[in-house]
Structure 1
Amino acid sequence: MKGRMVRLNSSGDVNGNTKVLQDAVYSFNPNNNITNISNTTTDFNTQYDYGYDGIGRLTQANGSYLGIAEGNLSRRFQQSFDYAKNGNLTAKRIHDPANGNVTDEWSYQYTNHQVTNIDSSKSGADTLTMSYDANGNLTRQRDNVKDLTKRIQVDSQDRITQIQDGNNAILGTYWYDEGGFRIRRSALEPKNNQFTNVEILYPSKFYGLEFIESENILTGVNNIYLNGVRIAAMNEAGALAYYLTDQVDSVSHVLDDEGNTLSQIQYQPYGETFVQRGDLNFSPKYNSQELDRESGFYFYNARYYDPGIARFTSADTIIDGEFDTQGWNRFSYVKGNPIGAKDPTGHDAVIDTLAGVNQVLNKLGDSSYKAGTAAKDGSFVGNSTGLIHDSAGLVYKTAAALVPKNRKELEEAAVTGYGSQLARATAKGLAKVGIEGAEKVIKNGKAIVIGEGMTAVKTAAKNLQSQGVDAKWYQAWGKNFPKGREMTPKEIGDSLGRNEKWLNSKMKDGHKIYDIGHDPIREIPSPFYAREKSLILEKNYPTTQIPRPK
């Protein structure tokens, strides 16, 4: 099959030595399903073998890990699966890898596609029990073996808002914006050998703030994306982390800017951890989604996923393929093929034969390093300040800067001068974004000013007013800005919500947006400005850059 990825290699110079970080070779059956992945690296080797039924659902999985850098540490697993015709997982078996004998078998019981009971041949009946509301949202999960209970609250839009344990102690609380983006998470997490409350604020997917209550520390991180996948992150101290992913975008390696391994992780087929070494705190893991350790659920944007039972916790609001019987199952994960398919949004299984192409030619110090360099230089990947350009690691400017004076030049630029098919496709996409943005019409003659630093924003607006422009600004915290202390995470979250509501209303009314940009001497990026830029990008809304007031 043309375009099918057969090898994924990442290597380079680390501390003066050539190091292979990934060298995964893929084998396929005639139905295009992955049957073997052999990965040989400097520090470890892995071997995975898979079998499928007639419609491509995973039925057998064998995995082995040999930690060369850990004194040949050996780990193995063997699993098998059965499914109903409608896509429901009916059995999950754990085998002894030494002889293939079944050591535990889970039997799934359903009501309306909702798994209500899981019996274990090892632990007995009702090992796990689940309850749901009328909309199909998981509201209670009881693990009778571990003696653990999760009580789950959801809002009117079927989003999890709080999780409690069996004693009604709050494990996690979650907030969302009007589009479903999770803007805040408050949870108990292990930090420095103790559990402490951790607040995570998400002004946008490109920027996050973490507040550790016990240490009274507030830190920020910039996230860098390529093709919708997080490939790197940089904290406010300038420390960089690079994420190397596999064929379904699961993070297998986290590296620093010298190529040293910070974290290394391998997964069982449906997302349970197989082997993990190093720092556990990096956010993206299976499918590059965030694992909420307080619940064991992965946040898939539209809904949550439980890797332990290989099911989503709520029904999909979208039918994934009207003529596909497996797509009508609103709880199953990627139609039973987690080896070759991923679900970036929580809505659709995506089988991407070019998955990981951004890393096939990746050499350490090239695309990953230049991505980090771009972040240090202020090229904010994925929003209107910058974007990483395909596997060669070149950084180029975004659509606003790419739009020339006429469409013909733009289309020519999109198909020449870029070395790969992916680059051309990306350039065409940016061209389309730029054209559409340039052709938007500002309706009402009114304007707003955004940027970092409220004093500079106000000055810029007043300068425009003196030129006859009806320009306004907005201060999300009003007159209640705290004196003599930092804003609390709740105050920041509330202010971000007000700021987002204001900006959405102005874009809806057709206000012209003047942007004075980042404050070059500011040490910590503004979460308000970061969220404004993200919203503008999401809506493809045009802005006009103006100089910052001196």
Structure 2
Amino acid sequence: MHVGMPAIRRRRRRVRMAAVSVAAATATVVALVPATAADQTASPARSVFTADPPPVPQGVTKAPASTPIGVPGSKRPTVTAGILQSSFQGIGTGKVPWSDFHQAQLTDAVAAQVNVGNGNLLLTLTAFDVADPGPGGGLKFGHAYNGLNTSWKSSTGADYLVREPNSGAVYVQGPSGTIAVFERDGDDLTPAPGYRQDLEESSDGKTFTLTDRGSGRETTFTRPDDDISTAARVSRIEDNNGNATTFAYDGDLTRTMTGVSGRKLTFTHQDGRLVKVADHTGREATYDWDGPDLASFTDTAGATTRFDYDASHRLTKVTTPEGRQTTFTWDTNRVGSITRVTDEAEGTGPTTAFRWVLPQPGSPGEGVVRITDPRGEHTLKTVDSRWRTRKTENPLGHERSAEWNADNSVVTATDAMGVGGDPGNATTFGWNNRGAMTSAELPTGATTSLSAYQTISGADLPGTITTPDGEETDYDYDTKGNTLSVAVTGDDGGSREFTYQDSDTDCGGFDGQRCTAEQPHKDGESAPTTHFTYNGDGDLTTVDPPEPKGDTTYTYDALGRTKTVTDGRGQTLTYTYDDRDRVTRVEPETGAAIVYTWDDDGNRTSRTDTTGTTGYTYDDLSRETVRTLQDGSQTVLAYTPNGNLDYYRDAGGETDYTYDAANRLTDLTAPDGKTTTFDHNSNGERTKTTYPGGTVQEIDLDDSGRPQRITATSDAGTLVDLSYDYSRTEGGETVDGTKIRAKTDHVTGLDYTYSYNSAGRLSYAEEQDGSEKVAGWQYCYDPAGNVTSQGVTEGCPRGTEYTYNDASQLTAKNGEGSGWSYDEAGNETAGAPTTADTRTGEKYSAYNQLTEITHDGATYTAEYAGTSNAERVRFGDTTFRNTPLGLSAQTTSGVTTGFVREPAGTLNSMTRGGESYYYLTDALGSVVALTDESGNKVNSYDYKPRGSLRAGSSEEVPQPYHFTGTYHDPTHLYKMGVRYYDSRTGRFTQPDPSGQEVNPYLYANGDPVNNIDPTGKLFGAVALGITVATIGYAYYTNGQNGAEAATAAAIADAGVVALCEVGAAATTGPGAVAALPACMTIGAAAGMAVSNMYKQKQSYGY
């Protein structure tokens, strides 16, 4: 996503459903605002589009010439040949769940993908995504082109079907053209390996029912006119609560697609081909055909994408509405190369080429695929006949591998750390006989388990999840699979209960939409409850949280898009959209509107708000190249042939970047001409940073990729030396966990130990000098995660006590409540963490941006660009320069401080008064020291567990970045993305805007030793490097769909689908949700394994 680029309509819809529903589960209130109105900072090399694939390589490489199409493999099984001769797409087409894909996002509606296992080109085209609370979260319709049989098929309707090309099996053709083969075993149908679906045939052979094991969603296929010799086409898709999307046909042609809300798509055909699709409001998408080839597609905004083919109907070029071109060459029916054209006259540009040596279908052999990037560097992938990646060798010769079971799930994943004949570090996964994950074990032994599975309404739902650190969560479901309760076991745990729309409970809407959600509480105790109501279309209309917070209400337009949001203060925002569902205007009742413009490919081109107009320019690959800031100054980005950031330039000068053959950053040259160098291990993880002047920071990682020692040295001596231990005691034995249990500062000689309660929150930390205690920090919690007391000795309760209201707002300290207050949207208006450190007069804009605050008698006013706190342009007398890489400079009283960053935005150094200073960090990313160009330590920082600076900290050179590398304000609050954090209380001053946190104010889920939240939206485990959220983001949308994606898919099946994704529709669509911590648990153990093997993905040639 381009920096500051609002997510497009599909992400907006997902946020509207997922964020609010998880808020229901966590009893928080989230403003149901389109994500397009929320500005986010990201790496500039990333795509602006929802799918967000890896950076597309740039440069010129000669591709192999196209060759005539032919039928590959003379020994192809007869059954496969039968499919190729029918209207079916050949086996191996579509988005095969376990295959590895090379991706390129062309527009916000068009994406190209190459299956590395078989060479199939999959081009997907999205025409409609209309909001609807039924299964799938909306009326989605598009097309897919598959190169293996050179044909276009629709994503649903007439081309989503079941057919029997022979008597031995039944084939289901999926939305992207996948073929799931269900072999007959008497009267039964054996599940297709890897799809986690069950297929049943009616006794009369006229219908088939396909059940998804992750969600319980049932898809019914019906033969027309009861003719059992014809294909059965999708007639109904029904969620686990009985809410359905239905289809009507004219013969074999789709006539209508109708959602549970009554919103509808209508299809028009000419000579048997689809020429127009219209929604119920009259928006139209049209198709122009040249025989079997789609010549052009015109979207609902009137923008046209064009397609060219060769004589064999193989796709050779895609031209976007803005004229950006992508070309393809062919090796028989496999892709030979993909070129993103930058020189239209020559037809050249960044080219990725493929060479295929594949095994015969169905054989036990293996083949090798060579992927050549635009620089001529090769990545080799070993694949089997099931299109699974078994080994990847990057351009540096580093290898990683995976072993698979018969159900196409990864059972062992081995990283690239093997030396000589010794293998790398292996992560293992357990699966049950229905393909659901049962365990994930890291190389060091930390294990997550999922047990007591129940199959309810076709969905496989775990009853208990146990983390590597011994935390256990139990789940209870109703007969439809909706989550009734989530209970964290142990003395510090709590339970949450939920109710849903059904015959006994009425909150409007449809069956399965959540009506109430309780905050965590002890059994038998009453709990504050959030209530939800819906209109007749199933749209969430009111969220009634516990008092004293006010109701949030929503209205919608005819397409189900959020039209207005009125928060608890009575402040209303109105949203306007273009015909492609992109937000074009956000307007408060009083004050100036924020206006966005977009090009026809889906890139945001401008944003105008009270700070001025920001303009965005993109290259031929839709990557941001120039940003014109509000004051007229510009930032410039250029890219290497392989798509990495080559240099970044702004008013502070130019920063240059160099990479090795595996795309790993090796050198950073700052505007002052001084160079920092970086070293990596075979997994692509950074192990050494050498700063100008000779300061060297090294990271020693354990076999699971976690830091176990961090050192920094220079001619001045040892500056930093920290070691970490993750082991814990269980049943008298030492076992591996995922939380830091001990830390030693070898420079000071101090030791630190950390204990956690049964809910995984930090309960006690102690600092020792030998056997002598130096300091201690005890935190005691209620079941919702609010700190009820804290002290300096172990045990609960302790001396300083805190009081909370039903909305989890801190209202009193030691019984004194005069220093705390909130508005009805939940924003803090006054706070008193200590008697000598108070905040008063906090004011907020209509967008809930903090605009004024008084701290210890000094008043600061603030300004922001966009609709959140994220892009702050002024605070008090300090102004900020926000760029694609992050904050690059600040000016206070005429003095400018510059910040040099890596391509992903990580801080490298600070400049002030013509001098440069370099950041040294710990495992959490907190700045522990600042060095000058001679290697002298000029600043030193020491923190309490929640991030407050301790008295031993010293700062010769003022700079604002401290705890977890986030910005420390003069108010003593940390600015973490969209929220402000008070480290004295361990809480944010505003509720979670994403609705994904169990407690709306609690920082890092109560574990600041292992978790971070730099965006203010969702905490993540820093040592693990990945969460469920990033699994879905990085591995699904970035196209890492080989071994890692199969693993991530399994994680999602076990956790996100069964526990989180199903519940994502709970308030705007039927479903169930369980605890986010459970989702994070799975991400923590299994996701960590994925991360350790596959992070730094570019190092493997992607």
Judged with a 3 Å threshold, the aligned counterparts in structure 2 of structure 1 residues 287 and 75 are, in CA distance, closer, same or farther, namely farther
- Per-residue CA deviations over 1:394-442 (Å, capped at 9, x if unaligned) read xxxxxxxxxxxxxxxxxxxxxxxxxx967842446xx87xxxxxxxxxx
Q: 1:271-290 to 2 correspondence within 5 Å?
A: 271-274=947-950, 275-279=952-956, 281-290=958-967
What residue identity is the alignment partner of 1:221? G
Question: Are 2:759 and 1:55 aligned?
Answer: yes
- The two structures, once aligned, show a CA RMSD in angstroms of 3.2
- Shift, 1:256, TM fit: 1.5
Q: 1:410-421 to 2 correspondence within 5 Å?
A: none
- Shift, 1:292, TM fit: 0.6
Give the Cα–Cα distance (whole angstroms) in 1 for the partners of residues 751 and 908 of structure 2: 24
Question: Are 2:987 and 1:300 aligned?
Answer: no
- Shift, 1:152, TM fit: 0.4
User: Which residue of 1 is the match for residue 709 of structure 2?
Assistant: 8
Give the Cα–Cα distance (whole angstroms) in 1 for the partners of residues 1010 and 966 of structure 2: 16
User: Which residue of 2 is the match for residue 135 of structure 1?
Assistant: 825
Give the Cα–Cα distance (whole angstroms) in 2 for the partners of residues 101 and 280 of structure 1: 40
Aligned residues: 326
TM-score (norm 2): 0.28
Give the Cα–Cα distance (whole angstroms) in 1 for the partners of residues 865 and 769 of structure 2: 39
Give the Cα–Cα distance (whole angstroms) in 2 for the partners of residues 147 and 211 of structure 1: 25
Match of 2:874 among 182, 185, 196: 185
Question: Are 2:868 and 1:173 aligned?
Answer: no
- Per-residue CA deviations over 1:138-195 (Å, capped at 9, x if unaligned) read 011246833844210111221211112587x5234343335643332333xxxxxxxx
Give the Cα–Cα distance (whole angstroms) in 1 for the partners of residues 1010 and 927 of structure 2: 15
Judged with a 3 Å threshold, the aligned counterparts in structure 2 of structure 1 residues 256 and 147 are, in CA distance, closer, same or farther, namely closer
- Shift, 1:78, TM fit: 0.7
Q: Which has the higher helix share?
A: 1
What residue identity is the alignment partner of 1:89? V
- Per-residue CA deviations over 1:351-382 (Å, capped at 9, x if unaligned) read 133569xxxxxxxxxxxxxxxxxxxxxxxxxx
- Shift, 1:6, TM fit: 4.6
Match of 1:27 among 713, 718, 726: 726
Match of 2:845 among 135, 147, 155: 155
User: Which residue of 1 is the match for residue 429 of structure 2?
Assistant: none
Q: Does the 8 Å contact 2:766/2:773 carry over to 1?
A: no
User: Which residue of 1 is the match for residue 466 of structure 2?
Assistant: none
User: Which residue of 1 is the match for residue 322 of structure 2?
Assistant: none
Match of 2:742 among 10, 17, 36: 36
- Per-residue CA deviations over 1:492-542 (Å, capped at 9, x if unaligned) read xxxxxxxxxxxxxxxxxxxxxxxxxxxxxxxxxxxxxxxxxxxxxxxxxxx
- Shift, 1:85, TM fit: 1.3
Judged with a 3 Å threshold, the aligned counterparts in structure 2 of structure 1 residues 236 and 355 are, in CA distance, closer, same or farther, namely farther
Q: 1:320-335 to 2 correspondence within 5 Å?
A: 320=996, 327-335=997-1005
Q: Does the 8 Å contact 2:777/2:792 carry over to 1?
A: yes
Give unmatched runs, 5+ long, in structure 2: 1-441, 444-703, 729-734, 1027-1091
Q: 1:117-516 to 2 correspondence within 5 Å?
A: 117-119=812-814, 125-126=815-816, 129-142=819-832, 145-146=835-836, 148-165=838-855, 170-178=859-867, 180-187=869-876, 198-204=877-883, 206-213=886-893, 217-225=894-902, 227-235=904-912, 237=914, 239-274=915-950, 275-279=952-956, 281-293=958-970, 295-320=971-996, 327-354=997-1024, 424-427=1096-1099
Give the Cα–Cα distance (whole angstroms) in 2 for the partners of residues 218 and 303 of structure 1: 26
- Per-residue CA deviations over 1:17-41 (Å, capped at 9, x if unaligned) read x535223232332542211101202
Q: Does the 8 Å contact 2:780/2:797 carry over to 1?
A: no
Q: Does the 8 Å contact 1:245/1:251 carry over to 2?
A: yes
The SS at the match of 1:267 is coil
- Shift, 1:46, TM fit: 3.0
- Shift, 1:89, TM fit: 1.7
Judged with a 3 Å threshold, the aligned counterparts in structure 2 of structure 1 residues 219 and 60 are, in CA distance, closer, same or farther, namely same
Q: 1:82-93 to 2 correspondence within 5 Å?
A: 82-93=780-791
Q: Does the 8 Å contact 2:707/2:1023 carry over to 1?
A: no
What residue identity is the alignment partner of 2:911? M
- Shift, 1:65, TM fit: 7.0
Give the Cα–Cα distance (whole angstroms) in 2 for the partners of residues 263 and 166 of structure 1: 25
Give the Cα–Cα distance (whole angstroms) in 1 for the partners of residues 837 and 1014 of structure 2: 32
Q: Does the 8 Å contact 1:94/1:102 carry over to 2?
A: no
The SS at the match of 1:248 is coil
What residue identity is the alignment partner of 2:820? M
User: Which residue of 1 is the match for residue 645 of structure 2?
Assistant: none
User: Which residue of 1 is the match for residue 595 of structure 2?
Assistant: none
What residue identity is the alignment partner of 2:963? Y
User: Which residue of 1 is the match for residue 809 of structure 2?
Assistant: 114
The SS at the match of 2:706 is coil
The SS at the match of 2:777 is strand
- Per-residue CA deviations over 1:187-226 (Å, capped at 9, x if unaligned) read 3xxxxxxxxxx4232232545444443xxx3424133136
What residue identity is the alignment partner of 1:25? Y
- Per-residue CA deviations over 1:107-151 (Å, capped at 9, x if unaligned) read 3333311111121xxxxx317731111111001124683384421
Judged with a 3 Å threshold, the aligned counterparts in structure 2 of structure 1 residues 160 and 261 are, in CA distance, closer, same or farther, namely same
The SS at the match of 1:111 is coil
Give the Cα–Cα distance (whole angstroms) in 1 for the partners of residues 946 and 745 of structure 2: 19
What residue identity is the alignment partner of 1:348? L
What residue identity is the alignment partner of 2:810? V
- Shift, 1:50, TM fit: 0.9
Higher relative contact order (CA 8 A, sep 6+): 2
Give the Cα–Cα distance (whole angstroms) in 1 for the partners of residues 852 and 953 of structure 2: 28
Q: Does the 8 Å contact 2:889/2:897 carry over to 1?
A: yes
User: Which residue of 2 is the match for residue 77 of structure 1?
Assistant: 775
Judged with a 3 Å threshold, the aligned counterparts in structure 2 of structure 1 residues 354 and 154 are, in CA distance, closer, same or farther, namely same
Q: Which has the higher strand share?
A: 2
What residue identity is the alignment partner of 1:182? E
Give the Cα–Cα distance (whole angstroms) in 2 for the partners of residues 220 and 304 of structure 1: 22
The SS at the match of 1:51 is strand
Q: 1:93-104 to 2 correspondence within 5 Å?
A: 93-95=791-793, 104=799
What residue identity is the alignment partner of 1:186? F
- Shift, 1:296, TM fit: 1.4
Q: Does the 8 Å contact 1:127/1:143 carry over to 2?
A: no
Q: Does the 8 Å contact 1:94/1:105 carry over to 2?
A: no
- Shift, 1:9, TM fit: 2.3
Judged with a 3 Å threshold, the aligned counterparts in structure 2 of structure 1 residues 142 and 210 are, in CA distance, closer, same or farther, namely same
Judged with a 3 Å threshold, the aligned counterparts in structure 2 of structure 1 residues 102 and 241 are, in CA distance, closer, same or farther, namely farther
Q: Does the 8 Å contact 1:200/1:208 carry over to 2?
A: no
What residue identity is the alignment partner of 2:722? D
Give the Cα–Cα distance (whole angstroms) in 1 for the partners of residues 991 and 708 of structure 2: 35
User: Which residue of 2 is the match for residue 467 of structure 1?
Assistant: none
Q: Does the 8 Å contact 1:233/1:241 carry over to 2?
A: yes
- Per-residue CA deviations over 1:62-120 (Å, capped at 9, x if unaligned) read 12479xxxxxxx9932111111112222111234x9xx99984233333311111121x
Q: Does the 8 Å contact 2:727/2:741 carry over to 1?
A: yes
User: Which residue of 2 is the match for residue 367 of structure 1?
Assistant: none
